[in-house]
Structure 1
Amino acid sequence: MQPLGLQSSLPQQLADALRVRIRAKEWGPGQQLPTEAELVVRYGISRATVRQAIKDLEGQGLVVVQRGRGTFMAEGTRIHAGMQELASISATIAQMGLEPSMRYRHRIVRAATAAELRQFDLPVGGKVVDIQRKILADGQTVAFSYDILPRWVFPARFRTSELRGSVFGFLADHDGPRPARALAEVHAVRSDTIGWDEETDGHQLYILLDQMQVDDQNRRFMHSRSFFLEGRFNFTVVRTR
Structure 2
Amino acid sequence: MAATTRRTLADDIVRTLKAEIRAGVHPPGARLPTEAALCQRFAVSRATVRGAVKELDVLGLVRTQHGVGTFVRPRPAVRDGLERMGSISESISASGKTPGHEYARRTLREVLPDEAERMAVPPDTEVLELRRRITADGDVVAYSYDLIPRGLLPEKFDPEELDGSVFAYFEHRLGIHPTLGLAKVHAVESGHIAWGHDAAKHRLFVLLDQLHYDTAHQLLAYSRTYFIEGAYEFHLTRTST
TM-score range, shorter chain: 0.5 to 0.7
**What does the per-residue CA deviation read over 1:124-150, in whole Å, with 9 as the maximum and x for residues that have no partner?**
643100000000000000000000111
Structure-1 separation of matches of 2:174 and 2:101: 23
**What does the per-residue CA deviation read over 1:145-169, in whole Å, with 9 as the maximum and x for residues that have no partner?**
0001110121111111001111111
Structure 2 counterpart of 1:185: 184
Question: Share of identical aligned residues, percent?
Answer: 35
Structure-2 separation of matches of 1:187 and 1:153: 28
Structure 2 counterpart of 1:220: 219
Aligned residue pairs, count: 169
Structure 1 counterpart of 2:195: 196
> What SS does the aligned partner of 1:174 have?
helix
1:184 partner amino acid: A
Give the drift of 1:118: 4.6
Confirm or deny: 8 A CA contact 1:179 1:214 kept in the other structure: yes
Structure-2 separation of matches of 1:195 and 1:219: 30
Structure-1 separation of matches of 2:119 and 2:175: 16
1:113 partner amino acid: L
Structure-2 separation of matches of 1:117 and 1:76: 38
Confirm or deny: 8 A CA contact 1:185 1:211 kept in the other structure: yes
Confirm or deny: 8 A CA contact 1:153 1:177 kept in the other structure: no
TM-score normalized by structure 1? 0.64
- Structural mapping, 1:140-155, within 5 Å: 140-155=139-154
Give unpaired runs (5+ residues) of structure 2: 1-21, 24-73
Structure-1 separation of matches of 2:131 and 2:226: 11
Structure 2 counterpart of 1:98: 97
1:138 partner amino acid: D
Structure 1 counterpart of 2:77: 78
- Structural mapping, 1:1-241, within 5 Å: 76=75, 78-120=77-119, 122-123=121-122, 125-239=124-238
2:199 partner amino acid: T
Larger radius of gyration: 2
Give unpaired runs (5+ residues) of structure 1: 1-28, 31-74
TM-score normalized by structure 2? 0.64
Structure-2 separation of matches of 1:167 and 1:142: 16
Give the drift of 1:200: 2.8
> What SS does the aligned partner of 1:198 have?
coil
Give the drift of 1:214: 1.3
**What does the per-residue CA deviation read over 1:47-78, in whole Å, with 9 as the maximum and x for residues that have no partner?**
xxxxxxxxxxxxxxxxxxxxxxxxxxxx9552
Structure 1 counterpart of 2:62: none
Report the RMSD for the aligned CA atoms in angstroms. 2.3
1:226 partner amino acid: T
**What does the per-residue CA deviation read over 1:62-120, in whole Å, with 9 as the maximum and x for residues that have no partner?**
xxxxxxxxxxxxx9552101011111111110111101001111011112223444554
